[in-house]
A and B are shown apart, each in its own frame.
Chain A
């Protein structure tokens, strides 16, 4: 059931009692959770926040925490599965779903009692009508009533009459069931993403008049993450950032409004967000220009920087910009002032010549104090790196908490730490791409390409996390397409990396082909069916259905089954 009026249907309803929050391991969820935490703190709504990484994790956490809890909020988790069936809650527990994963499970949509979905249903999602999908089964009743009829009628005649009706009824049911299966299949075939949860939470804050610059920044990060990880297409991002820009101008208007203060009205330490045109170069403000050009997916693919020829083009580009090599190898903040200021405009001018026309995109920058200037994509990369930096002493939940803390301003050193880790992450992604293309590791498996990272490979540990692997897969596919030109544009890619050496599992992600602009991913269903067919020991545990765990021994037959399925 959809909750249209978020304040009445959700916020006021939970006011006064304790709320249980389950948050998924992704940046959008973390941002949404932070906004919600802020709102709860303002109104002293007691809550408990538990991070969950997958479906099993959610079930276990719910069992542990469910005592005496009436309201449960699920952030970016549980939208695509039948919650009531999974968790088996008591009658009075109400679940609020805030999930940007689509398609939302039909049981959740049509549940009238326990599940409430925050937000409005989008007509574009194509949610089927209730009658098409659910119908009470009245087959048995007809047969039974037939038996109790008047025994005076001759048996044969009765049987004839009954069977005729029964046959018609059965046929009708069968047709309806087929139609229902077809509709459900069409609905759940592709998995994609809807509006960012962080933006929905920010709009809630807006309607409660509790919006602040920090909350808006969280919403911006959520939207930027969706764009950078390829979860939404570019038009959607432009639309979303347009709306956010409206909020930015509203908030900054409030800041500068006070005319009674001195000429420099607001102090420099107040955080400001500005909406500017930014470059698609990852972390370039905190890195060297050369490194940033080399490791960003867009520029690296367009200039083919893994080849020698590409390196030469890079140097050409730098020379054209008037940037000496020495300067471009220095940290951006240590470059000459003049060069730094002109960098942006120079690159824009040369973008066309080097086919980097999509280099400029609209983004947001947060600035507070003199030293702290971060653009949204910097923060996203930093948080991703923090989230996936598990090691021997740091469990994944520690990383989750660190990523959450990185958003708060007093913990700026965490953000800086994350940026360093992100540099390492991007460097290793680039190296892996280079290795993949040089050593022909991208293999065609028929209707799709696949790319396997072997266990002993360099930095294999880095890629045993979903987000890093997705970034790598996208980079590899783009690069491969640049090399092979037309032939590979309509092939999707499956990437696999070792996950756990003890259990012998590996992580598998699938991304859609380059030619389709939309990020609609059909691998969720495909994985499910292939796993069923081959009885592979697979775990479709992640909330993002294009990511799954698989036993390494079953991998080859799983891929074969997939190939058979997709051809």
Chain B
């Protein structure tokens, strides 16, 4: 039946367990083809209306039109939901994407990401006199220093006051919360609760 492919696109996106699934280029192209096919049929049928006296062609045109609209809606939903996920990536990782995520995005999405980062940065700078980084303090702060454990071999991490900490896997640290919050959100450090 019509619109199966576009429905599939949305279903796949919804069911996927990854944070940022890959862009289904093929699927989208198939939907375009279907739309083109339907549209061409419709145009042909409309131009040919003289040959159809009892009005059954109208029904066909109406169905195809509805299918076209549905395809468009599905595609827009697909694009929109992906964009929401890309936006979440910006809030999680900052303005530089890790390569695994980047591989799953198509070119326009990467451009969208960059432009969004720019717009967001402009807005954040405009708050107050000096700007405010809205990506920090995501949770209500419970203490000034937190105990964190390093989950990966991140390497040397320099803090604002000049101290350098080596974040090797399995090492435990007590650090100022403000400094290590971005790393916790990115998943490099894990906060230890007692």
Please say whether the chains A and B touch (CB closer than 8 A): yes
| A residues whose Cβ falls under 8 Å from a Cβ of B | 18, 37, 40-41, 44-51, 64-65, 67-68, 395, 397-398, 400-401, 408, 410
Q: How far is the CB of B147 from chain A (nearest CB, A)?
A: 7
- The answer to whether B117 has its CB under 8 Å from any CB of chain A is no
CB–CB B166/A397 < 8 A: no
Ranked nearest first, the 8 interchain pairs of A and B with the lowest CB-CB distance are: A397-B170, A49-B172, A44-B145, A48-B173, A65-B166, A47-B174, A50-B171, A46-B174
C-alpha spacing A408/B169, complex, angstroms: 21
CB–CB B194/A410 < 8 A: yes
CB–CB B170/A47 < 8 A: no
CB–CB B145/A41 < 8 A: yes
CB–CB A44/B174 < 8 A: yes
CB–CB B171/A49 < 8 A: yes
Identify B165's interface contact among A40, A48, A408, CB under 8 A.
Answer: A48
**CB closest chain-B residue, reference A38:** B194
CB–CB B149/A401 < 8 A: yes
Q: Report 29 cross-chain contacts, Cβ distance below 8 Å, ordered by A residue.
A: A18-B165, A37-B147, A37-B172, A37-B174, A41-B147, A41-B174, A45-B174, A46-B163, A46-B173, A46-B174, A46-B175, A46-B176, A47-B173, A48-B172, A48-B174, A49-B173, A50-B170, A51-B170, A65-B166, A65-B168, A67-B156, A67-B166, A68-B162, A395-B170, A397-B170, A398-B170, A400-B170, A408-B194, A410-B194
**CB closest chain-A residue, reference B172:** A49
Residues on the A chain within 8 Å of B165, using CB: 18, 48
C-alpha spacing A410/B171, complex, angstroms: 21
CB–CB B164/A67 < 8 A: yes
Q: A37-B172, A46-B175, A398-B170 are in contact. List 13 more A-B contacts (CB 8 A).
A: A18-B165, A40-B174, A46-B163, A46-B173, A46-B174, A48-B165, A48-B166, A48-B174, A49-B172, A50-B168, A51-B170, A65-B166, A68-B163
Residues on the A chain within 8 Å of B169, using CB: 397
C-alpha spacing A50/B156, complex, angstroms: 15
How many cross-chain pairs have Cβ atoms below 8 Å apart between A and B? 55
C-alpha spacing A68/B176, complex, angstroms: 17
Residues on the B chain within 8 Å of A41, using CB: 145, 147, 174
C-alpha spacing A51/B145, complex, angstroms: 21
Residues on the B chain within 8 Å of A64, using CB: 166, 168
Contact A410 B193, CB 8 Å, known A67-B164, A68-B163: yes
C-alpha spacing A29/B171, complex, angstroms: 15
In terms of DSSP, what is the predominant structure of the interface of chain B?
strand
C-alpha spacing A45/B173, complex, angstroms: 10
Residues on the B chain within 8 Å of A47, using CB: 173-174
The proximity string for B residues 95-110 relative to A, scoring 1 for CB distances below 8 Å and 0 otherwise, is 0000000000000000
Residues on the A chain within 8 Å of B173, using CB: 46-49
Within 8 A of A (CB), among B148-180: 149, 156, 162-166, 168-176
- The answer to whether B51 has its CB under 8 Å from any CB of chain A is no
Residues on the A chain within 8 Å of B174, using CB: 37, 40-41, 44-48
C-alpha spacing A373/B172, complex, angstroms: 29
C-alpha spacing A46/B180, complex, angstroms: 13
- The answer to whether B1 has its CB under 8 Å from any CB of chain A is no
C-alpha spacing A44/B194, complex, angstroms: 16
C-alpha spacing A67/B175, complex, angstroms: 16
- The answer to whether B144 has its CB under 8 Å from any CB of chain A is yes
C-alpha spacing A65/B172, complex, angstroms: 12
Residues on the B chain within 8 Å of A65, using CB: 166, 168
C-alpha spacing A64/B172, complex, angstroms: 15
Residues on the A chain within 8 Å of B147, using CB: 37, 41
C-alpha spacing A408/B164, complex, angstroms: 29
C-alpha spacing A400/B173, complex, angstroms: 15
C-alpha spacing A134/B170, complex, angstroms: 41
**CB closest chain-B residue, reference A49:** B172
**CB closest chain-A residue, reference B147:** A41
C-alpha spacing A44/B164, complex, angstroms: 17
CB–CB A48/B171 < 8 A: yes
C-alpha spacing A550/B127, complex, angstroms: 66
Q: How far is the CB of A25 from chain B (nearest CB, A)?
A: 12
Q: How far is the CB of B177 from chain A (nearest CB, A)?
A: 11
C-alpha spacing A300/B143, complex, angstroms: 51
Which of A40, A47, A398 has the largest count of B CB atoms less than 10 A from its CB? A47
Identify B144's interface contact among A18, A44, A50, A400, CB under 8 A.
Answer: A44
Residues on the A chain within 8 Å of B193, using CB: 410
C-alpha spacing A40/B166, complex, angstroms: 19
Residues on the B chain within 8 Å of A37, using CB: 147, 172, 174
**CB closest chain-A residue, reference B149:** A401
C-alpha spacing A41/B144, complex, angstroms: 10
Residues on the B chain within 8 Å of A68, using CB: 162-164
Residues on the B chain within 8 Å of A408, using CB: 194
Q: How far is the CB of B37 from chain A (nearest CB, A)?
A: 51
Residues on the B chain within 8 Å of A395, using CB: 170
Q: How far is the CB of B101 from chain A (nearest CB, A)?
A: 25
Q: How far is the CB of A22 from chain B (nearest CB, A)?
A: 11
Q: How far is the CB of B132 from chain A (nearest CB, A)?
A: 25
C-alpha spacing A51/B149, complex, angstroms: 12
CB–CB B168/A18 < 8 A: no
**CB closest chain-B residue, reference A400:** B170
CB–CB A401/B144 < 8 A: no
Identify B163's interface contact among A18, A45, A397, CB under 8 A.
Answer: A18
Q: How far is the CB of A295 from chain B (nearest CB, A)?
A: 32
Residues on the A chain within 8 Å of B175, using CB: 46
C-alpha spacing A447/B145, complex, angstroms: 57
